Structure 1
Amino acid sequence: MKLISGQLPWANTLPHPPVYPVLEGDTACDCLIVGGGMGGAMMSYRMSLTGADTVIIDKRSVAGGSSHANTGLLQIANDKSLTSCMNTFGEENGVLFYKLCQRGLQAILDLPEKLEIDPQIIPRSSLLYASSLEDVPALKLEQENLASHGFDSELWNEEKIRSHYSFSRPAALYSRGDAETNPFRTVHSLIHKAHSGGVRVYAHTEALSYEYRTDGVICHTRHGRIFAKNVVFAMGYETQEMKKDRGAELINTYAVMTKPLRSMPKWHEQSLIWETARPYLYFRTTPDGRIIAGGKDEQLTDPDRREVRVLSQSQRLLEELVALFPELQGIEAEYSWGAVFGSTRDGLPYMGPHPEYPHCYFIEGYGGNGTVYSMIAAELLSDTLAGRHRPELELFSLTRTAKPSPSPAIQG
């Protein structure tokens, strides 16, 4: 699957990333992780902390797939609001989901001091604005539900928005506790740390086939075999080529990164910005004075068509940016790209085991909060492999067909 089209910005921010060898010959391990993107990076880091004998492979270079197209917004809030989650899954499970996201995001914020390569994880607040007057009642209800369950969020009126930004909208939620990151550096920093902690890393090593046995899994590569007691598949959207999830949907999404600005527009605390409309637009800044704009999602098309669409969709994103910040008139993009993006029909990611794949677990962080989902999955699955029961996984079951049953409170 061709995941990305256009020009990507992140590799220039780490010009000499760590390089890993191709697997040559046979090897064995307690845990094999397939995929060197964000999910695999989070998982390998967590496994290195447990001391388990772990191998991670990727058919590309590390961070060479969808993680390279990631725009690096990290939020507690999700594409599906807390209110909607409570309505769909019940109050207990809806709040559990948001609490897991809050905990996962805090774990990400704690990473920089533990890593040797700076992942450029920066705390940020978020502004979620009402795209229309009709969205204001739902936004008010969302703020009430967030506040009643301990999430730090305020409802701003039109006047307050205007006093803090170059634009105004009928209402907005201003929430704290979020972050931004450089996804390319984050993946490399996590895998580099895992490698230094004993995880064996092999790049350009494609898994060609698997043998599922009673005592584990044999992974066949072009130049050898890996005998693993357990396998964690962290292949992102390409998982759908291996096993089709009926509740998953793949689309195209687009993003731009501008040239560096001489000065930032009126933009309170350089917060993350997004909207209530679906599909939504979103905006963030970068440490070197640029702006990232993303959205304009559309149905999945063949890669050649996406290549053509990058130019027109990127121009539309710049127009949306200028509509919010008129002082940016004439702004230009230095990087423009399109990528495959996945979501689920019920708004929850997939993570955990699957009955048709013995000794295997999956990380499918589908949705706009994929990096946070990856951290949640890494915690739950590393604990599971260490023999600790994590009932929270029931919420994200790969075989779910109805509302999940109530799960216990988050474990410490």
Structure 2
Amino acid sequence: MDLVYGTPYWPSTYKSDVGYSSLETDISCDCLIIGGGMGGALTSKLLSQRGFDTVVIDKRKIAHGSSSANTGLLQYTNDKTLTSCINTFGEEKGVRFYQLCREAMQHLAEIAGSLKTDPWFIPRNSFCFASVEEDVALLEEEYRTLQKYGFEAELWEADQIKNHFPFEKPAALYTKGDAEVNPYRFVQALFESAIQHGARIYEQTEMIHCDYDDEGVWCYTPKGKIRAKKVVYAAGYETQEIKKDRGAYLKSTYAIITKPLPDLSSWYEQAMIWETARPYLYMRTTPDHRIIAGGLDEEIPDQDQRELRAKNQGDVLLEEVKSYFPLDALEIDYVWGAVFGNTHDGLPLIGTHPEYPHSYFVEGYGGNGTVYSMIAASLIADAISGVENEDMKLFSLTRTSKPSPA
């Protein structure tokens, strides 16, 4: 699958001193992780820390799949509001999902602070505005719901927005406890840490297929076999080529990053900005004074149209940014498109599947993929360690598209 088209920015920000080879012999391990992106990196760190002999393989170079296209907005709030989660899943499950996202944000902050390589993890607040007047009631209801269940949020009215930003909107939610990150540096730093705990990483090593028996898994690669007691599939959106999930679907999304700007003082607290419209526009800044903007989700274009489509959609995104921040020096420096996955019910897919023995899946589909990957890594590390966690059931791969309320 062609996951990324165009030129992502993040790989230009980090040159690794660590070289990864491809697998050219037969090996064995406790846990095999298939996928060298965010899900695989977080899971490898937790498993190796717990003393499991962990091997990671990726058919590309490490972090050169979706992680290179990730725009690095980390939020406990979701594409699916807490109000909507409660309406869909019931109060207990809906609130627990948001609690897990908030706990994952805290866990990500702890991990980021422990890494040798700086992942550009910076605490930020989030600003979600009403795209149209009709969406104000939705934000008001969500504000009351967040407050009721202990999630810190402020409801801003039009005058307050006008006093803090160079644009006008009828209302917004201002939430705290989020962060921005450089996902490429984060993945590289996580693997560097996992190596310190004994993990072995092989890039440009493709899984051809896996066989299962009573004792574990045989994974076949072009030049060697891997014998593992457990396997974690962290292949991101390419999981759909391994195991098609009826509750998941894939789209194309687009992003730009501007050239460095001399002045971003009009951007209040460098908050991460998004909106109630679907698909939504989102924007954030970077430590080197650039603006990242993304959105315009659509059906995946034909192969020969993707590069051109990314460029055209990039131009649209730049005009959107200018409408909010009319800065003289706004120019595109990097533009890219990428495959983006979501689920029909709004929750990621995490855990086991009856047709894949000794296996776990990390499918952090949705706008909060890194947060979901953190939840998945924690749950799977617990499961492999023999710790039962009821939260895994919330993300079952075999759930119906619309779970019954609790």
TM-score, normalised with respect to structure 1: 0.97
8 A contact 2:126–2:271 mirrored in 1: yes
- Residue aligning to 1:362: 361
Find the aligned partners of 1:330 and 1:196 in 2 and give their Cα distance. 43
- Residue aligning to 1:88: 88
C-alpha displacement of 1:404: 5.6
Q: Aligned letter for 1:193?
A: S
- Residue aligning to 1:353: 352
Cα deviation per residue 1:341-399 (whole Å; 9 max; x = unaligned)? 00000000000000000000000000000000000000000000000001101100000
Find the aligned partners of 1:189 and 1:232 in 2 and give their Cα distance. 20
1:159 maps onto 2:159 in alignment: yes
Cα deviation per residue 1:248-307 (whole Å; 9 max; x = unaligned)? 110000000000001115111000000000000000000000000000111112232121
- Residue aligning to 2:60: 60
Report SS of the residue matched to 1:261. coil
Q: Aligned letter for 2:349?
A: Y
TM-score, normalised with respect to structure 2: 0.98
How do 1:335-354 residues align onto structure 2 when only pairs under 5 Å count? 335-354=334-353
- Residue aligning to 2:319: 319
Report SS of the residue matched to 1:21. coil
8 A contact 1:5–1:303 mirrored in 2: no
8 A contact 2:261–2:329 mirrored in 1: no
Find the aligned partners of 1:95 and 1:179 in 2 and give their Cα distance. 21
- Residue aligning to 1:409: none
C-alpha displacement of 1:17: 4.9
- CA pair 185-404 structure 1, distance change in 2 beyond 3 A: farther
Report SS of the residue matched to 1:110. helix
- Residue aligning to 1:184: 184
Cα deviation per residue 1:130-175 (whole Å; 9 max; x = unaligned)? 0001000110000000011111100000000111111120000000
Find the aligned partners of 1:152 and 1:62 in 2 and give their Cα distance. 36
- Residue aligning to 1:410: none
Find the aligned partners of 2:16 and 2:59 in 1 and give their Cα distance. 20
8 A contact 1:209–1:221 mirrored in 2: yes
Which runs of 5 or more residues in structure 2 are unaligned? Answer: none
Q: Aligned letter for 1:359?
A: H
Report SS of the residue matched to 1:399. coil
1:31 maps onto 2:31 in alignment: yes
Find the aligned partners of 1:80 and 1:230 in 2 and give their Cα distance. 32
Find the aligned partners of 1:199 and 1:360 in 2 and give their Cα distance. 19
Report SS of the residue matched to 2:208. strand
Q: Aligned letter for 2:76?
A: I
- Residue aligning to 1:216: 216
How do 1:199-348 residues align onto structure 2 when only pairs under 5 Å count? 199-326=199-326, 328-329=327-328, 331-348=330-347
C-alpha displacement of 1:405: 6.7
8 A contact 2:88–2:404 mirrored in 1: no
Find the aligned partners of 1:150 and 1:223 in 2 and give their Cα distance. 53
Report SS of the residue matched to 1:374. helix
- Residue aligning to 1:78: 78
- Residue aligning to 1:107: 107
- Residue aligning to 1:388: 387
Find the aligned partners of 2:309 and 2:17 in 1 and give their Cα distance. 30
| Bigger mean CA deviation after superposition, 254-263 or 16-25 | 16-25
The two structures, once aligned, show a CA RMSD in angstroms of: 1.0
1:135 maps onto 2:135 in alignment: yes
Find the aligned partners of 2:54 and 2:302 in 1 and give their Cα distance. 36
Report SS of the residue matched to 1:372. helix
- Residue aligning to 1:371: 370
8 A contact 1:265–1:325 mirrored in 2: no
8 A contact 1:166–1:265 mirrored in 2: no
Find the aligned partners of 2:8 and 2:343 in 1 and give their Cα distance. 26
Find the aligned partners of 1:25 and 1:15 in 2 and give their Cα distance. 28
C-alpha displacement of 1:329: 4.2
8 A contact 1:17–1:188 mirrored in 2: no
Q: Using the aligned pairs only, state the percent identity.
A: 55
- Count of aligned pairs: 405
